[in-house]
Structure 1
């Protein structure tokens, strides 16, 4: 930013312009063209927030929520998130939903959480869309509705949300509210696995190992894919992947027999607790 532009921002902020105050707060928050200062960021955010600027209200909520230059204070975070959310601020709506869902210094209220998730999801917030999908899938807040769950999961997954991609893989692999489709499941599991989702990596290993998808009908390729995805999941501590990888090395299933490697993965699997849903 040129010096004259910076001077204009500072002048606007000092003259009480809420947008200028928010912009200056952001500059101090991120050290953009000024020396980073949480104290100065909080000052300018507060001045803007007190005038009703939703972005500043949300930013103050984040500072208190994440202990960013101030003491963590969930009640203060809740206050600012609520003010911003009521003005339609998407990220504030999502964070407020999380606070209600988890009961972070507010009364745990899943119905109110669902309300805020819905408002954020309708604005395109992927994490809110995923959470709504899960609510409809599990039927814990809304009546169980597989079609609506798939709708929200798909919206989130199309934006790259790995959790939603995993659940869509799970849904298509098991034929939940849709006909079973291994290829569609494989596509969603792969997208999530490539982002590091251990459950999806494990499920890919299972699909390839069981021969549900045969790359060019070559068993060696099948075993290689299984071992590759099991390894990725196992290295993240996924107990079932660790156990299956150990079995492959113990039995020489697509890999040379190696008792030492098998023993390593068996031992690690034994130390782990049971993992999340697999297909």
Structure 2
């Protein structure tokens, strides 16, 4: 009932905004919030097209977050025709308006060369800006660049710091990246146990690659006690999460388990 009143209240606010009766609320925020309800299908039928219309209004009124959200729709073709160039323009407007999500998303386009000319250095600048503003995913993405030496001088120690900051900010990918550095001993002292802890957190957060890596540790007994049964459970989770290699690992571990059980018998 509370959510129903929320939707009704937003609709009334929109009507008031359109009537220009001098209401004290920020109409741009009202459009953005209403668009969020349509995008998520909360208390109304999910409608990306309607969300796009509302976020367009919010963006036109100068709402940076609304511009970023509209950019996401153009980026992925939700409710509108996919248009990377349009997404880039909207992300730029959002970033210029102070929305760190817009900076981060624009960096993704520059990294992949979608809608803009591929430019790792530009991506690094944008992700640095996002990270400095507290965006955990921006920190993680910047860490990837330092790990791989893309757009910046390769620096594993700097990558570790960024992954740490990302993970502390709630980025599951930060745990994954930092765990990889501990596993390989890059920028930090090699520590399989620490890698296992970090990949466990990534896996618990729904990161299939983190699950796959953790399964490998249990298979080989690196940083954890060797446990094929545990490995099989983790590989199965990773497989269900979209890691195709984990599906093959799962089958191989099951073969090992069945072979051992036959020997024990």
TM-score (norm 2): 0.78
1:36: Cα distance to partner?
Answer: 6.5
Tell me what 1:171 maps to.
Answer: 181
- Paired with 1:36 and 1:247, the residues of 2 have a C-alpha distance of 45
Gaps of 5+ in 1: 258-279
- Paired with 2:137 and 2:186, the residues of 1 have a C-alpha distance of 22
Count matched residues: 251
1:225: Cα distance to partner?
Answer: 2.5
State whether residues 146 and 177 of structure 1, in contact with CA within 8 Å, keep that contact through their aligned partners in structure 2. Answer: yes
Choose 104-113 or 227-236, whichever is displaced more.
227-236
1:213: Cα distance to partner?
Answer: 4.3
Choose 20-29 or 77-86, whichever is displaced more.
20-29
1:145: Cα distance to partner?
Answer: 1.2
Q: Which of 224, 228, 238 does residue 229 from structure 2 map onto? A: 224
Tell me what 2:195 maps to.
Answer: 185
Tell me what 1:12 maps to.
Answer: 17
TM-score (norm 1): 0.75
State whether residues 228 and 257 of structure 2, in contact with CA within 8 Å, keep that contact through their aligned partners in structure 1. Answer: no
Tell me what 1:276 maps to.
Answer: none
Tell me what 2:256 maps to.
Answer: 248
- Paired with 1:35 and 1:185, the residues of 2 have a C-alpha distance of 43
Choose 31-40 or 89-98, whichever is displaced more.
31-40
Please tell me whether Structure 1 or Structure 2 has the larger radius of gyration of its CA atoms. Answer: 1
- Paired with 1:148 and 1:112, the residues of 2 have a C-alpha distance of 18
Tell me what 1:30 maps to.
Answer: 37
Task: Report 1:250-269 matches (<5 A).
Answer: 251-252=259-260, 255-256=261-262
- Paired with 1:107 and 1:231, the residues of 2 have a C-alpha distance of 39
Cα separation, partners in 2 of 1:13 and 1:29, compared to 1, 3 Å = farther
State whether residues 60 and 80 of structure 1, in contact with CA within 8 Å, keep that contact through their aligned partners in structure 2. Answer: yes
Cα separation, partners in 2 of 1:244 and 1:159, compared to 1, 3 Å = farther
Cα separation, partners in 2 of 1:60 and 1:192, compared to 1, 3 Å = closer
State whether residues 162 and 195 of structure 1, in contact with CA within 8 Å, keep that contact through their aligned partners in structure 2. Answer: yes
Higher share of residues assigned helix: 2
Q: Which of 124, 137, 142 does residue 127 from structure 1 map onto? A: 137
Residues 1:46 and 2:53 aligned together? no
Residues 1:151 and 2:149 aligned together? no
Tell me what 1:262 maps to.
Answer: none
Tell me what 2:113 maps to.
Answer: 103
